[in-house]
Chain A
Amino acid sequence: MSAAVPATPSTPDRQQLSMTQVLLCGAFIVTLSMGIRHGFGLWLQPITMDRGWSRETFAFAIAVQNLAWGLAGPFAGALADRWGAWRVLIIGAVLYAAGLVLMGLATSGLAFTGSAGIVLGLAQSGTTYAVIYGVIGRNVAADKRSWAMGMTAAAGSFGQFLMVPVENWLIGGLGWQGALFVLGCLALAIVPLAFGLKEPAAQPAQHGEQGIVAAVREAFGNPSFQLLTAGYFVCGFQVVFIGVHMPSYLKDHGLTPDVATTALALIGLFNVIGTYAAGVLGSHLPKRLVLAAIYGLRAVAIALFINLPLTPWSVYIFASTMGLLWLSTIPPTNALVAQIFGVKYLSMLSGFVFVSHQLGSFLGAWLGGKLYDSTGSYDVVWWIAIALGVFAAIVHLPIREHAIHRAVPA
């Protein structure tokens, strides 16, 4: 005998932690973890000059960091789901601090790739959204989950926005090495915050309950999960292509550096607003439609930007629009995973979706440079970004948002 039960009950089985506590601790953690990493570009010049390395050495380590972050995500998520997010957060914080200190002490390209690339990538997989969202999923009622994820994502966006000028100030005052050591100490602030997210450990799967392997099989065999994962690839591609290559694009078109800097500030500012708004919208509207709208609007914004005359004001309007749409995909994407598959393995499944995002990120950075070198302009990549935006908007439409029903022994 078996009965079908939905993967997502409307409320958590047990309200283990208060929503305020989860939101405060989660928000501060992602503010630190997303913020610290966001300003790494500021170290490019001082480190390469001081160590006598090429820019490629630095860029390679950052590329490895992004891949390590993505690839380690499902494992960090699985550990968080099984042994508790707080343990993973503490390990992640210690790795974060160690990676930053070792990054400052590295005197060879290999050591730099190991510290700034692999150690920091692993640290980020244990201290960012997927791990925190598992705790939110298990402790916040389903009707408030998207909003709570939006609030936490907005905190991460704020961290990114805040830390660039802060890190610039630290480097100016303490030198690049001293600034890294201070950030290492700052990363350790995640440790006490992690205790605020301490949940009772999950029990191993009992007979008839879904295990990790079954959860992975179920997700990858589900068309909605496949579509969601495909869409997230586009997010990574567009955001990183624009983030990395837009300054060169503006420079090629004769715009001054202060236009690029103001555009960066506008993206950061509107990103905070956009991620929060996406979480709120996901609470009231079907999340697949919110995501389709985000990707569709990105495609429209990019098409208008490259086809209209390029002026400082067109850059500012584009930057503000893209800022609103920047990380706004995070809350509805992760809330959909929770809604469809339940919260037991939410961190791990979010980690798998994020792998796709990071592969898109890698391709956005690499393909932008590759096609620029071979064609002499960014036009082809801009059009790829538009086409991918349309593709992502379309693939989100058939996603089935209701919780899947699993057969369990009666």
Chain B
Amino acid sequence: MIGRRAVGWLGAAVVLTLVFAAYLRPDVVITLAQQLWNCF
């Protein structure tokens, strides 16, 4: 049970890190900086 939960948390951390890394790609940085920053 603890092992499955740890794998779940680890998987979530990996996915979040990958998405975060996508924001730091130069093309995304440039596009976002040029656009309306509409967070909600």
Spell out A's residues near B (CB within 8 Å): 38, 40-42, 44-45, 55, 58-59, 62, 158, 160-162, 164-165, 168, 172, 236, 239-240, 242-244, 246-247, 257-258, 260-262, 264-265, 267-269, 272, 326, 361
Q: Write the chain B residue with the least CB distance to A55.
A: B36
Check B32 against A244 for contact (C-beta < 8 Å): no
**Contact: B35 with A264, CB < 8 Å?**
no
Contact indicator A261/B32 (Cβ below 8 Å) = yes
Instruction: Compute how far the CA of A62 lies from the CA of B38 in the bound complex, rounded to whole angstroms.
Output: 10
Q: Tell me, rounded to whole Å, the shortest Cβ–Cβ distance linking B12 to chain A.
A: 8
Q: Contact residue range for chain B?
A: 20 to 34
Interchain CB contact under 8 A, B37 and A260: yes
B35 and A42 contacting across the interface, CB-CB below 8 Å: yes
A selection of 5 A-B contacts at a CB cut-off of 8 Å is A40-B38, A44-B35, A58-B36, A240-B39, A244-B36
Q: Is the CB of B28 within 8 A of A168?
A: yes
Q: Is the CB of B35 within 8 A of A269?
A: no
- Whether B20 contacts A269 by the Cβ 8 Å rule is yes
Chain A residues with CB under 8 A of B28: 164-165, 168, 261
Is B7 an interface residue, CB under 8 A from the partner? Answer: no
With A168-B31, A269-B16 in contact, do A261 and B36 touch (Cβ < 8 Å)? Answer: no
Residues of B within 8 A of A62 (CB): 38
Q: Complex formed: what's the CA distance from A57 to B23 in Å?
A: 28
Q: A168-B31, A262-B24 are in contact. List 12 more A-B contacts (CB 8 A).
A: A41-B37, A42-B35, A44-B35, A45-B34, A45-B35, A59-B36, A161-B19, A164-B28, A168-B28, A244-B38, A257-B29, A258-B33
Task: Mark B residues whose CB is within 8 Å of A.
Answer: 16, 19-20, 22-25, 27-40
Minimum CB–CB distance for A245 against chain B, Å: 9
Residues of A within 8 A of B38 (CB): 38, 40-41, 62, 243-244
Minimum CB–CB distance for A153 against chain B, Å: 13
Q: Residues of A contacting B29 with CB < 8 Å?
A: 257-258, 261
Contact B27 A243 (CB under 8 A): no
B23 touches A246 (CB 8 A): no
B19 touches A162 (CB 8 A): yes
Given contacts A164-B32, A165-B19, A258-B29, contact A265 B24 (CB under 8 A): yes
Chain B's nearest CB lies how many Å from the CB of A56?
A: 12
From the candidates A168, A236, A243, A361, name the one contacting B32 in the complex (CB within 8 A): A168
- Considering residues B20, B32, B36, B40, which has the most beta carbons from chain A within 10 angstroms of its beta carbon? B40
Inside 8 A of B37's CB, which chain A residues have their CB? 41, 243-244, 246-247, 260, 264
